[in-house]
Amino acid sequence: MFIAIDDLRPEIGAYGSKIAITPNLDKFASQGLQFNNAYCQQAICGPSRASVLTGIRPETSGVFHNYIKFREVNPKVITLPQHFMQHGYETVYTGKIFHHGDLDEQSWSRLAAIDSMTSKGIKNPVGFALKKNNQERAETRKEMVAKYGKVAKYGLASGIAYEAADVSDDTYKDGYNTTLAIATMNDLLAKNNQKPFFLGVGYNKPHLNWVAPKKYWDLYDRNDIALALQKEAPQNGATMGLHPSFELRVRSGIPKKGDIDEELAITLKHAYLACVSYVDAQVGKMIRGLEEAGIRDNTIIIIWSDHGFHLGEMGIWGKATNYEIATRVPLLIWTPNMPKGSRGKTTDALVELVDIYPTLSDFAGIETPAHVEGTSFKPLIDNPKVTWKTAAFSQFPTPALREWGAFPLRPAMRETYFGPLLKDVEKRIKKQLGEKWDRELFENNLMGYAMRTEQYRLIVWKDRANPEKEPVFIEVYDHKNDALESINIAENSPELVAQLMKQFNKGWKGNLPSK
């Protein structure tokens, strides 16, 4: 059972959240192994999911933004579910597994049991349950298209950022897809209970828009919701490393420039938390369905998120950065035969989402394809304290000068209400980097490469078109003394930079566990 969650940072009780109400995920963590230092390969949906499901890192695959289908650039790649299908598994999914548009029929042996939902009278899920919110979104889209033309269709009018409607869980996608996943699983068992299956269950929340049934909002008192401790950009940090919260600002009711005021910020975090609790309830329902089917003790369960999310940290809202808050993710696994000494434990080992492919293959006794660039972390489940990787790697192209989804700026986007934000960002980049400024470089070719070691985060900004050139900028954050990544110490730490760059230049292959 392959459970993917969208935009979930480690904001659950098991990871130390003081407010998130997540009893089901916490219970699961108490039964399996929790990875405290798991990192995505790029903090945006499409590239992250492509790397997990193909086992190929973005730098190799060329999937850097949400508008590249992984099959277009890697047509013959064998995906994780496809690999299992080729080894006798029934493979099927509900919800969001690949990024939208990457449904990839080659990966799945059958469709979900949608007829079971129809027969039960369960209606298709909705984006918004309230009529006023649907009307508002339709009117805003009409207005944006009339004003800006085709470019408005790329998310400029996504509706209100949140909704709390007194509706059933099945009204929205995640509740619906959980019921569908359980029905599909039972259908698989009814048709052939001896055939193994790979069931992908994908949750859309807590991705914007933050819509969840009212009962999950009611779990929280807004007076108890604390906002981000660090609301400023890192001191001496890369000005191109933070974006102007594009993804949130396209929502109705959100200021198109300037700060998010405290009252609105509390509401937004409340909305995020409500969605986290909503998904938590669905995970619990899914696992109970597995238990009621009598197959929990013969099923590997893995739960992961595609990337983290800034909720005001560093002054921004959204994913799409190379910092800890965007790249660190929750990762939990339970296997029937894991040692008792590993159950309910945590590991501080550095792992990457690209490691999921070889790990599941390892547990299933299937040989991992040669193209896979991850490392099975099965040894960590046998011994959570075993010496492991010396670094984890992520990357992201110039967050400040990319659209949401990491897509290069369309010229027409400068004519929208994002124009002033982009001019402000450019002004700050030019002030910091002077003669290094070049529009073609910064908008299209500049890549931020992040390396996370046990103590440090190194971010190297390089020209991908001219890799032999010296880095445009370097950031170093000391997690032993600065867990919030508030001060870039690179300029005053030349020896440390040289040491980390030596390690960085070895690449992911040079930072693998010793055999």
Backbone angles phi, psi at 257, to 5 degrees: -155, 165
Catalytic residues: 45, 99
Burial of 495 by CB count in 10 Å (0-12 exposed, 13-18 middle, 19+ buried)?
exposed
3-state per-residue secondary structure call for 213-255:
EHHHHCCCCHHHCCCCCCCCCCECCCHHHCCCCHHHHCCECCC
Kindly list the strands in the beta sheet with 197-203, ordered across the sheet, starting from the edge strand earlier in the chain.
Answer: 90-95, 197-203, 2-5, 301-305, 328-334, 33-39, 345-352
List all residues 6 or more positions away from 83 whose beta carbon is below 8 Å from its beta carbon. 357, 361, 366, 369
Mapped onto helix, strand or coil, the DSSP state of residue 102 is coil
Give strand pairing partners of 302.
2, 333
DSSP 444: I
Residues 107, 114: Cα–Cα separation, whole Å:
18
Strand blocks (E) in 107-154: none
**Strands of 312-419, DSSP E:** 317-318, 328-334, 345-352, 392-397
CA gap 142, 153 in Å, rounded = 10
Provide the residue type at 289 as one letter: G
Residue 462's φ and ψ, nearest 5 degrees, are: -130, 155
177, 94 in Cβ contact below 8 A?
yes
Task: In whole angstroms, give the CA distance from residue 215 to residue 223.
Answer: 17
β-bridge mates for residue 37, sequence order = 350
